[in-house]
Amino acid sequence: MVPNSHSASESPDTTNRLFISIARRSRGALAWIVFIALGALVWFAIDRVIVDRSPIVVGILHSQTGPMAVSEKSMIDAEILALEQINAAGGLLGRPVQWIIADGASDPETFATQAEKLIRTDKVCVVFGCWTSASRKSVLPVFESNDHLLIYPMAYEGLEQSPNIIYVGAAPNQQITPAVSWCHSKLAARRYFLIGSDYIWPHCVNAIISDQLTGMGDELVGEFYIPFGSTDVDAAVRAIVAAKPDVVLSSVVGDSAIAFAQKLRAAGIRPEQIPVLTFALGENELSSMKRDDFTGNYAAWNYFQSIARPENAAFVNAFKARYGKDRTVSDVMNAAYSSVLLWAQAVAESDRTDVRQVRYALRHQSLNAAEGIIAVDAETQHTWLPVSIGRIRQDGQFDIVWSSNTAVRPVPFPISRSREEWEKFVENLHQQWGGKWAAPSNSRAKP
């Protein structure tokens, strides 16, 4: 059979046209792929130029060495935990957060030098730091002259208000004055002995307490100061034994506080006869002490690890998972942790890391924290906080014996004197100490 000539002649040509058509379509598809790829590369390049993907750098400034290291190292741990959690959730503004840790070395002048380095050399956008008021007073001019931002996570004496500091720890009416009132009403205390480390915070605290005792008609039977960082506390203990107070109010810090607790118990001073209420010892410090040295005494804080709240359980569990099940948490650690979270909220809200914008946004941040709802007060830049008093247990934890239950509005300047009088009192101490924020003299007692 002879094949159809028309079909035979068209078959190769049809096949060629088919191949040509396929080739054309392939080239078109390839062109589109190349176009899309080039467009993606261009967009990626523009995105890299326009959108900042570099790390957000923050500073952490605490004592890693010296007598305050026993307290401040734990604050670093809490701040790092919060920063790690932020990064695990995707960072801030699509960027990871990095941190630079500087050692204040328990020395106010070193704190100031390190603050300057963090701001000018390391270019951090915020600093979380300080414990003692001497260190905070020393870095304050650095932050004000650079118009920068310090978040201070520590209960303190008040008598200060700076636009460059967010105060996350307690003002005096959120720790000191409620504790004195509680001693008067619940311990029936009428004779008070005040003891502190010899620097700005304890001197201001004791002036506030002295005013309050005068108002209540109670008696101040002794006031004694231990040189900052010293563990020579024998004279202080002898003064307490001789005065026979109803209660001792302690603002002794760091290694000195541990030595004081040991010597006081060795001298036979027990809480059944002369209780001590401390403003500076928390669970972290107690974990490094002999269990019996301070058991039965009291502390006034805004947070205790034993607070029964789901938010607190989450914080404690996260901290132990990160650092070990035997670690404890305390008020200052919780405040350090909350400081980072409040700052992160302000960054997210302002959609930038600019110091001024974030500082403004911080003034109206609130947080459902471990101890309850806390909020930054826009007028004072201090924080609304609940107040609690705990009795120290044998295991180093606290039984909460009194609580305000709700957050208390911060009052940085107690009403017993005018703001001008308080500021003059602080400046007089500064001048008396030769321009320092800690006394240069040896320990001394006031009758």
Supply the Cα-derived Rg of the chain in whole angstroms: 31
Q: Are residues 238 and 299 in the same domain?
A: yes
In this prediction, residues 63-73 reach a mean pLDDT of 94
In this prediction, residues 200-214 reach a mean pLDDT of 98
**Would 7 be classed as within a structural domain?**
no
Q: Is 350 helix (H, G, I), strand (E, B) or coil?
A: helix
- Measured distance CA(436)–CA(133) in Å, rounded: 11
Residue range 105-139, pLDDT digits in tens: 999 999 999 999 999 999 999 999 999 999 999 99
Q: What pLDDT is attached to residue 28?
A: 63
**Would 180 be classed as within a structural domain?**
yes
Report how many helices (DSSP H) and strands (DSSP E) the chain contains, helices first.
13, 16
Quick one: pLDDT band at residue 1, thresholds 50, 70, 90?
very low
Return the percentage of the chain with pLDDT > 90, whole number: 82
Q: What pLDDT is attached to residue 388?
A: 98
**Would 245 be classed as within a structural domain?**
yes
The residues pairing with 389 across neighbouring beta strands, listed in sequence order, are 300, 402
Q: Are residues 360 and 245 in the same domain?
A: no
Q: How many residues does the chain have?
A: 447
In this prediction, residues 99-104 reach a mean pLDDT of 98
Q: Are residues 116 and 146 in the same domain?
A: yes
**Would 26 be classed as within a structural domain?**
no
CATH of residue 232's domain is 3.40.50.2300
**Would 27 be classed as within a structural domain?**
no
Q: Are residues 226 and 342 in the same domain?
A: no
Backbone angles phi, psi at 413, to 5 degrees: -115, 105
Q: Does residue 442 have a pLDDT over 60?
A: no
Boundary residue ending a domain (385, 406, 433): 385
- The token pair that represents 428 in the structure block: 């007089």
Q: Does residue 59 have a pLDDT over 90?
A: yes
Q: What pLDDT is attached to residue 82?
A: 98
Quick one: pLDDT band at residue 443, thresholds 50, 70, 90?
very low
Q: Are residues 317 and 279 in the same domain?
A: no
Q: What pLDDT is attached to residue 38?
A: 72
DSSP 173: G
Q: Are residues 160 and 68 in the same domain?
A: yes
Return the percentage of the chain with pLDDT > 70, whole number: 87
pLDDT top residue among 352 and 440: 352
Q: What pLDDT is attached to residue 5?
A: 43
Boundary residue ending a domain (367, 385, 403): 385
Q: Considering only 202-206, 228-232, 288-292, which range has the smallest mean pLDDT?
A: 288-292
Q: Are residues 213 and 283 in the same domain?
A: yes
Residue range 361-378, pLDDT digits in tens: 999 999 999 999 999 999
Quick one: pLDDT band at residue 40, thresholds 50, 70, 90?
low
Range with the largest mean pLDDT of 14-18, 162-166, 255-259: 162-166
Domain that holds residue 331: 56-170+309-385
Sequence-distant (6+) residues with CB within 8 A of 418 are none
Cα–Cα distances in angstroms (integers) from residue 97 to residues 124, 126, 274, in the given order:
11, 12, 49
Q: Does residue 9 have a pLDDT over 70?
A: no
Q: What pLDDT is attached to residue 274?
A: 97
- Measured distance CA(434)–CA(393) in Å, rounded: 42
Quick one: pLDDT band at residue 53, thresholds 50, 70, 90?
confident
Q: Which element (helix H / strand E) includes 200?
A: helix 200-216
- Ramachandran bin of 156, using left for φ above 0, alpha for ψ from -120 to 50, beta for the remaining angles: beta
Cα–Cα distances in angstroms (integers) from residue 392 to residues 271, 297, 326, in the given order:
10, 6, 18
Q: Are residues 133 and 65 in the same domain?
A: yes
- Measured distance CA(261)–CA(270) in Å, rounded: 10
Domain count, the chain: 2
Q: Are residues 218 and 270 in the same domain?
A: yes
Q: What pLDDT is attached to residue 423?
A: 98
Per the CB < 8 A criterion, the answer to whether 283 and 396 are in contact is yes
DSSP 294: S
Q: At what angle do helices 331-350 and 69-88 cross, to 10 degrees?
A: 40
Quick one: pLDDT band at residue 39, thresholds 50, 70, 90?
low
Residue range 295-329, pLDDT digits in tens: 999 999 999 999 999 999 999 999 999 999 999 99
Q: Are residues 270 and 413 in the same domain?
A: yes
- The token pair that represents 244 in the structure block: 């026979």
Q: What pLDDT is attached to residue 287?
A: 85
**Would 106 be classed as within a structural domain?**
yes
DSSP 408: B
Q: Is 304 helix (H, G, I), strand (E, B) or coil?
A: coil
In this prediction, residues 14-19 reach a mean pLDDT of 61
Sequence-distant (6+) residues with CB within 8 A of 143 are 115, 119, 127, 149, 150, 162, 164, 165
309-324 core/surface letters (b: 16 or more CB in 10 A; e: else): eeebeebbebbeeeee
Boundary residue ending a domain (353, 369, 385): 385
Residue range 398-439, pLDDT digits in tens: 999 999 999 999 999 999 999 999 999 999 999 999 999 999
Q: Does residue 381 have a pLDDT over 50?
A: yes
The residues pairing with 398 across neighbouring beta strands, listed in sequence order, are 392
Q: What pLDDT is attached to residue 288?
A: 79
Q: Is 397 helix (H, G, I), strand (E, B) or coil?
A: coil
Backbone angles phi, psi at 380, to 5 degrees: -105, -15
In this prediction, residues 375-404 reach a mean pLDDT of 97
Query: If you average pLDDT over every residue of the chain, what do you get?
Result: 91
In this prediction, residues 335-341 reach a mean pLDDT of 98
**Would 50 be classed as within a structural domain?**
no
Q: Are residues 272 and 368 in the same domain?
A: no
**Would 9 be classed as within a structural domain?**
no
pTM over the 0.95 mark: no
Q: Is 436 helix (H, G, I), strand (E, B) or coil?
A: coil
Q: Are residues 96 and 130 in the same domain?
A: yes
Q: Does residue 293 have a pLDDT over 90?
A: no
